[in-house]
Amino acid sequence: MEHTFWHDKWEKGEIGFHQSDIHPMLLKFADQLGLNEPCRVFVPLCGKSNDMTFLLERGCEVVGIELSKLAVTQYFEGLGVTPTIETCGHLERYSAPDITLYCGDFFALTPEQLGSVDVVYDRAALVALPEDMRAQYGQRICGLAPRARQLLITFEYDQSAIAGPPFAISTLEIEHHYGKYCDIEMLASESLEGGLKGKVPALEKAWLLKGLG
């Protein structure tokens, strides 16, 4: 999916994917992720998600990456914090106490830039990618955080009924993309109230992935 697609969404304010409330799956499974102890959490394609603020309030250190500079700057404005901004390879790094957000292409992020993380929280990354990018993403995220626990949120619905994103992702696809790198456990499968985008019945699923690295 072209970068311009997401830049246009943010510039036009077409960000229905942004949720002001903390995601209920994150609240429900925080303890299973180990968030009851101080840990370092990676949030790929983080946008300006308030879930990151929830993680900070739990005592976590947060590292995110986001394509849109507008999203990153709006997040820090909402936090009431002025970040330090530095060029870091092909990315820009926005940092403040306990939080670092990289701005740029997810696939440009290196293990050295990310550092060691205990948890990956993926609410909006895998589901934002078209099918031809998802295998590469799964391999990359597990390479960046080979030992981490991951909370992955996906949707299952009739993809022919509406266009993504968010895209429909089957259980078989999860096993295909992550099975070589992680133990996989489905934590929840719930009907999405009102359907996806109010148009099609959908299941929202939560997965716990435990890195084998």
Question: Is position 123 annotated in a ligand binding site?
Answer: yes
Structure-token match 């993380």, residue found: 117
Question: Is position 45 annotated in a ligand binding site?
Answer: yes
What's the DSSP call for residue 165?
A: S
Question: Is position 207 annotated in a ligand binding site?
Answer: no
Q: 65, 129, 159: which is closest to 138 by C-alpha?
A: 129
Q: 94, 116, 87, 110: which is closest to 46 by C-alpha?
A: 94
CB distance 112 to 178 below 8 Å:
no
Tokens of 62: 């947060």
Q: 13, 118, 98: which is closest to 54 by C-alpha?
A: 98
Give the burial class of 113: count Cβ atoms within 10 A of its Cβ; 0-12 exposed, 13-18 middle, 19 or more buried: middle
Annotated binding site: 10, 45, 66, 123
Annotated binding site for S-adenosyl-L-methionine: 10, 45, 66, 123
